[in-house]
Structures are given as structure tokens and as C-alpha cells.
A and B are shown apart, each in its own frame.
Chain A
Amino acid sequence: MAKWSDDEEGGGLPKENLHEMLRRMLRIRVFEDRAVDLHLASRMPGFVHIAIGQEAEIVGACMALRTDDYMTGNHRSHGHPIGKGAELAPLMAELLGKKAGVCRGKGGSMHLAAFSVGSLGESGVVGSMMPVATGAALSARLRGTSQVCLCFFGDGAANCGPFHESLNLAAIWKLPVIFLCENNGYAITTPQVQTTAVAHIADRAASYEIPGAIVDGQDVLAVYEVVSQAVRRARAGHGPTLVEAKTYRYREHWEMGATKPPLYRSDEEIASWRTKDPIEMFSRTLLNTRQLTEHEFAAIKLAVEIEVDAAVAFAEQSPFPELSTLFEDVFV
């Protein structure tokens, strides 16, 4: 766990970094809130999987990377490129299928990619990007750069074949990958305890003789520290790490509109995790240790609201792609 110090001269991150962490977490939260509203109002087509509640593990991990490091993700995809520093407007436009979307309207919610910030893509097929992340790390090794690849996947993906193949490959070749399991406890409606032969996903690291770490996914600084260690290891050529962030999604697996959600978790459980809201906890910590003032907090929140509102306005006003683009970008 991160050692938090209220000694301003001591360890810990500079204030600007801490504010940026908070800012990115808020960006994800507000962006996702808007996405929910748009989807409920039938102004956003397709499937949408919301990451509210998981902001800390996303941002803590992403901010341990450089811009030129790589990242892959999964269907719960909006938070990852935001955490990596992608601009909001093209992401929101993509969710609405607009020409100005980051994927020119061709990908949508589950297939966001922002190559300019190293986001190599999100995938609608569980586990599908894990081998791809391994390949990005291999590429960095072959090119002799110090880049690493962060691979987000869920507890559900930890039981797929590609999980095993990717970790094994990364381990034998000592590739600079950080495999980060966003364990929110459920693969859609099925609890991890029913699907997984081990108690913790991180226990599987032993099968590949790589380090495994369990971290509180609601504590952004804890995640930052653990992933930073894994990144240092990777850059030094010591190979991959498996990090398991224990987290929770407050909303359903996917936005179901007016449909009653299936019964698989109790209101008490959801309420209990609500007391561990990552943004609540982090902002309170920063305020209590005087790394953030109320005024600064309000300013950050307001700026994020304005930024997201602008992204939504941009997206809604943007045109759809011309029909002629249907056949573009099949091949180079």
C-alpha cells in the first residue's frame, strides 16, 4: 500500500500530479454519468459498459505510464483512454457514431482506440486483447525501446485461454507487460468465486513464476505505487507482473435502460462498496492533508464538468460519417 505522508517535503507525489489524478478520475466519472444519460435517452446507440466505481484502478495504473507506453483494454472501455490522457470530445463523438469520433464512427463504445496516447484498442471479446498487449511489449523489446504495455482485463477474462497463453509468453520472453486484472467480482452476473479455481487472480502469477500483487483498486495511490513498481521492473528487462486490483462497478454490466437488472448482488453489497467511492476517498485524503483546498477541488470539478459538457455538445453537433466511408479503411 502507498505510504501517504502529509509532510509536504517528504515522499509522495507532487501536488500537480495528485491533482491530475483527481482530475482524470473526475473526468471518467462525469463522462460516464453523461454517457449513461445519453444512452437512457436513446441518444447513444449500441451497448455501453460503464466504469463508475473503477476510476482509481484505471487512473492509478495509467498515470504510472508514459505517454509513449502502450495500453490495451476491454469492453468496459471508456475509462481506459481517458485515464491514459485521451481527449474527451473525440471519445464522446465516437460513442455517438460520429465522423469526428476517435475511430471515425467505425468502432463505438466497445472498440475505442486512441493511438496518439498509446491506447491500442479496446475489445468486445473478453480476453481478446491480452495476446495483442503481449505483442506490443514484444515490439518494444525488438525495437530496443523502454516502452511497456499495460493490459487491462477483468476477472472474467482471467479464465480464458488467451490469459494463460499471454502470461506464459510474456514470462518466458520476459516481456515488459503489466497485466492488470480489474477484479470487480463479477463476470456479468456470475461471481468470481463460482468461476475461478483460485481465491485470487493474482495467485495465478505463481504458475508463470512472475510477481503477483493484490491491491485495493479503490485506492488510487496504492494502485499507482504497485503499477509503478511493475513498470520499473518491466523497463529494467525483468519481465511481466500480474496485478490484481480489487474493485467494484456500481452500475450493471451493461446499461439496460428501463429493464429491471437481474438479481445477483444485494443492495447491501452495493451500498457497502459505495462507502469506498474512490473519488470520495481520494479527495477527502487530499483535503485532509492539505494537498488540495476546497477552492481547488471546486475549480477542478467545475473545469471537468465544462470539459465534458463541451465534449457532449461537440459530439451531438458533429455530423455522422458520409455513407461513402463505409468502404474506407478495410485495407491500407
Chain B
Amino acid sequence: MEAVVQAVCEEMRIDPRVFVMGQDVQCFSYADALGEFGPERIRNTPISEAGFIGAGIGAALTGMRPVVEVAYSTFLYSAMDQIVSQAAKSRYMFGGQTGVPVVFRATVEYGTSAAAHHSDRPWGLFAQVPGLKIIVPTTPYEAKGLLKSGIRDGNPILYFDDTTLVEERGDVPIGDYTVPIGLADIKRSGCDLTIVAIGGAVRHSLAAAHRLEAEGIEVEVVDLRCVVPLDRRTIFASVEKTRRLLVVDPAPRTCSVAAEVVATVAEDGPMPLKAPVMRLAAPDIPVPFSPGLEGMMYPTVDSITAAARKQCTRQVYGREMLSSERATFGTMSEPR
């Protein structure tokens, strides 16, 4: 969060068009910045997502660069028409007469018993809307650099902060730097297996990779960082090297970003592979409240390690699994 606020404040200092609005921003995230920028530029809003998200769009159409703080990602849905039909489509529909330089920042919280109305991971849902860029940073350094890029990008940006990463610590230089949008990052190099991961799954994948190193399995972890644009080149280059792919995404499985990564590798990626592609994702269910139930939902270090091990012991691509194999390993991501 500190990285986020640092990014926004630095941009506000150099660009008078940038301002922040959202619920409770003056008391929470931006409380320390209020003295410097004042309540006009750090603006509390009523609970009117369609209203203030749409207002952010209108301000973006007329020369400003708003950062709209949406709080929980599920609250984006209250403004679906504004995001999908106004923000994403206006440049295209109006023949390029305008851009829509607005950042919508939302928190993605899950695994904390916040239940079904506060625990969505909707990057795949919004990836189905042409005209939006979608950023999911995983380190504080990237959180700041990608947000600065997002503010400067000139397009409507959905910026998702995965709160399972809130304890991540890292060096965040004061001062200006950016991280390019649309480039995935190799967080760990390896030659036996590519894990493509997003959000909190990156941290778990790195932990799994560390465990597997002791077993002689060298895992390459590709942090997507951006869902749109999707960095297919980095994914393909990694799979070219390892010829085994596991995709890990904490969002629901069907039509997920993981599904897109798998499809794109299957269509255009390096072939042959040493094993069929595999994904680990949440099941297609709303998030239950009871902690034990919710604990079954998301990829963990254990489940990623097991899946990675399985990927590295599978045989030739296209062979049917033996029933004894299926009985032992099952499929990782279906609810029992």
C-alpha cells in the first residue's frame, strides 16, 4: 500500500491532472497525503460506484487523469456499465477522438473469511472486455512502477492489489521509475518446468520452486504482472526451454486467465510438450465463509508443489492417464 500511495503522490506532484477519488480515501490510504494535496485532489466520495467511477471517466475524457480507488474488487460490479461500456469502449466507438486515461484501483482480498461479496478475483472476468488494461503486481517495487506506468499510459487501467501479498517487503526506491505494462517477469529461472502464475499464486509458486529444488526439479516461475496485455512472448520462451507448463491462478477455473494462457500455448506455443498443460485454479463456486471450506479454494504451496511434481513425472504428451494414476493423483482443482 505504501508503494501505491508513493506512486500516486509522486505522479500528483509532477502532473496536476492526476487526482484521487474514492470512499474514505482521506481517512485511510491517503491520510498522510491530505495535507499536501488537499481535499479537492484527494476526494472522498459517497457510496456511488457507478456515479464516481463514471465521473472519473468523464474527467478523463476532459483532460484529467483520475485514480479511482474502488476498495474491494466486487464493488466494481456496481459500475459495470461505466467500466465496460464507457471506459473500455469510448476511444474505439468515438473513432479515436479521445483517450480515457483513468486508473481504477481495487483490492483483491481472499482467504480471510471475507465471504462471497468481498473475495472475488475478477481479473479474468474483466479480461473479456476489450479496451481495458489489467495489471496485477506482486512486489512493492512493481506495485509502484506499474501504477506509475498505468497513470501515464493514457488508457483505462484496472489495477488489482492482491492482499495475500500485503506482507511482502521489498526495496522501493523513492523517486521516479516505471515498470513497463505488458511484460511478464521471470521471478525464478529453471529448465524443468514453467509455472506461469498471477497475483498471490506467484509467491506460493516461488515457495514451491524452492522445495522442488531440493528434489532436483528446477522450476521457472513466470509472474504475468499484466493480464492485458498478456506477454505471450515471455511465456512461449519459457515453455520453449522447459517443455512443461503449469498455470496457477487463484481465480475460478472456467474461462480464467489460466485458461487463456493454456489455450494460447496450445495454439501457438512451442511443441511438442513433455506433458499436457495443467492449471491450478479455484473451483467454480462462490467463496464460502467458513474458514475450513474457504481453505480448500485456492492454490497453496502444497498443491502447487504436488502439481509441479506431477507435471515433471508425466510421460509423453497425449498419453491417456492410467486409472491407477488418476486414483492416486486425481485432478488438483476440482471440488471433492
Q: Compute how far the CA of A114 lies from the CA of B97 in the bound complex, rounded to whole angstroms.
A: 8
Top-9 shortest CB links A-B? A135-B58, A131-B54, A165-B51, A104-B95, A135-B55, A103-B95, A329-B96, A132-B58, A332-B154
A sample of 15 inter-chain contacts (CB < 8 A) reads: A106-B93, A106-B95, A107-B93, A121-B94, A131-B82, A132-B55, A132-B57, A132-B82, A133-B58, A135-B60, A137-B58, A139-B59, A168-B46, A169-B45, A169-B51
Which of A28-36, A122-130, A258-266 forms part of the interface with chain B? A122-130
- Chain B residue numbers with a CB within 8 Å of A328 are 96
Taken together as a complex, chains A and B put the C-alpha atoms of A161 and B52 apart, in Å, by: 12
A302-332: CB near B (< 8 Å → 1, else 0) gives 0000000000000000000000000011111
Report if A102 contacts B (CB, 8 A): yes
Could you tell me if A111 and B93 are in contact, using CB atoms closer than 8 angstroms? yes
Flag whether A154 is at the interface (Cβ < 8 A): no
Task: Give the B-binding residues of A (Cβ under 8 A).
Answer: 70, 72, 101-107, 111, 113-115, 120-121, 123-125, 128-140, 142-143, 149, 161-162, 165-166, 168-169, 172, 328-332
Q: Is B272 an interface residue (CB 8 A)?
A: no
User: A66 to nearest B CB, angstroms?
Assistant: 14
8 additional contacts, CB 8 Å, given A107-B95, A131-B82, A139-B59?
Answer: A107-B93, A121-B94, A125-B81, A135-B59, A135-B60, A135-B62, A172-B46, A331-B91
Question: B64 in the interface, Cβ–Cβ < 8 Å?
Answer: yes
B86 and A330: CB pair below 8 A?
A: no
**Residues in chain A near residue B50, CB distance under 8 A:** 131, 161-162, 165
Would A330 and B91 count as touching, CB distance under 8 A? yes
Interface pair B51/A103, CB less than 8 Å apart: no
Q: Is B160 an interface residue (CB 8 A)?
A: no
Given contact pairs A133-B58, A142-B64, A165-B51, A107 touches B94 in the complex (Cβ within 8 A):
yes
Chain A residues with CB under 8 Å of B90's CB are 113, 121
Among B62, B98, B133, max chain A CB count under 10 A is at B62
B58 and A136 contacting across the interface, CB-CB below 8 Å: yes
Q: Is B153 touching A332 in the complex (CB atoms < 8 A)?
A: yes
Cβ contacts B44-76/A at 8 Å (1 or 0 each): 011010111111111111111010000000000
Q: Known contacts A120-B62, A125-B81, A331-B133; decide if A142 and B91 are in contact (CB<8 Å).
A: no
Residue ID in chain A nearest B47 by CB atoms: A165
Interface centre among A129, A135, A166, by most B CB within 10 Å? A135
- Answer yes or no: B317 CB below 8 A from chain A CBs: no
Give the residues in chain A near B94, CB-CB below 8 Å: 103, 106-107, 111, 113, 115, 121
Q: Please tell me the size bucket of the interface on B.
A: 35 or more
Q: Which residues of B contact A142 (CB under 8 A)?
A: 19, 40-41, 59, 64
Q: Is the CB of B58 within 8 A of A332?
A: no
Q: Please determine whether A131 and B91 come into contact, CB atoms closer than 8 angstroms.
A: no
Asked if B99 is at the interface (CB within 8 A of a chain A CB), the reply is: yes
A139 x B54 contact (CB < 8 A): no
On whether the beta carbons of B154 and A329 are closer than 8 Å, the reply is: no
- A168 to chain B minimum Cβ distance, whole angstroms, is 7
- Cβ of B54 and Cβ of A135 under 8 Å apart? yes
Report A-chain residues with C-beta under 8 Å of the C-beta of B93.
Answer: 103, 106-107, 111, 113, 121
CA distance A124 to B282 in the complex (A): 36
Asked if A139 meets B85 with Cβ closer than 8 Å, knowing A106-B95, A169-B52, A331-B91, the reply is no
Q: Would B85 and A123 count as touching, CB distance under 8 A?
A: yes
Bound CA span A196–B140, Å: 50
Q: Chain A residues with Cβ under 8 A from B153's Cβ?
A: 332
Residues of B near A123 (CB, < 8 A) are 85-86
Smallest Cβ distance from B198 to chain A, in angstroms? 21
Closest residue of B by beta carbon distance from A108: B93
B81 contact set on A, CB distance < 8 A: 125, 128, 162
Which residue among A132, A162, A172, A332 has the maximum number of chain B CB atoms within 10 Å of its CB? A132
CA distance A166 to B53 in the complex (A): 11
Give the distance in Å from the alpha carbon of A168 to the alpha carbon of B85 in the complex.
22
B91 neighbours in A (Cβ, 8 Å): 329-332
Docked pose: A142 CA to B63 CA in angstroms: 10
Once bound together, how far apart are the Cα atoms of A104 and B92, in whole Å? 9
Nearest B residue to A134 via CB reads B55
Query: Which residues from chain B contact A135 at a C-beta distance below 8 Å?
Result: 54-62, 66
Q: Which residue of A lies closest to B52 (CB)?
A: A169
The answer, yes or no, to whether B130 is at the interface (CB within 8 Å) is: yes
Query: Which residues of A are found within 8 Å of B41, using beta-carbon distances?
Result: 142
B26 contacts the other chain (CB 8 A): no
Which B-chain residue is minimally distant from A169 (CB atoms)? B51
Contact A134 B133 (CB under 8 A): no
Within 8 A of A (CB), among B72-121: 81-82, 85-86, 90-99, 101
Which chain B residue lies CB-closest to A90?
B95
Residues of the B chain whose Cβ atoms lie less than 8 Å from the Cβ of A169: 45-46, 48, 51-52, 55
Residues of A within 8 A of B96 (CB): 104, 328-329
A166, B63: Cβ atoms under 8 Å? Answer: no
Residues of B within 8 A of A70 (CB): 62
Also in contact, A168 and B51, with CB within 8 A (given A70-B62, A128-B85, A331-B155): yes
A143 touches B64 (CB 8 A): yes
- Which residues of A lie under 8 Å from residue B130 when comparing CB positions? 330
- Asked whether, in the complex, the Cβ of A128 is within 8 Å of the Cβ of B131, the reply is no
**A134/B58 in contact, CB under 8 A:** yes
Whole-angstrom CA separation of A332 from B45 in the bound complex: 28
Q: Is the CB of A162 within 8 A of B51?
A: yes
* Chain B residues closer than 8 Å to A172, beta-carbon distance: 46
| A132: chain B residues within 8 A (beta carbon) | 54-55, 57-58, 61, 82, 86
Q: For the complex, what is the distance from the CA of A120 to the CA of B86, rounded to whole Å?
A: 11
Contact B48 A168 (CB under 8 A): yes
Q: How far is the CB of B145 from chain A (nearest CB, A)?
A: 19
Collect the chain A residues with CB atoms within 8 Å of residue B85's CB.
123-125, 128
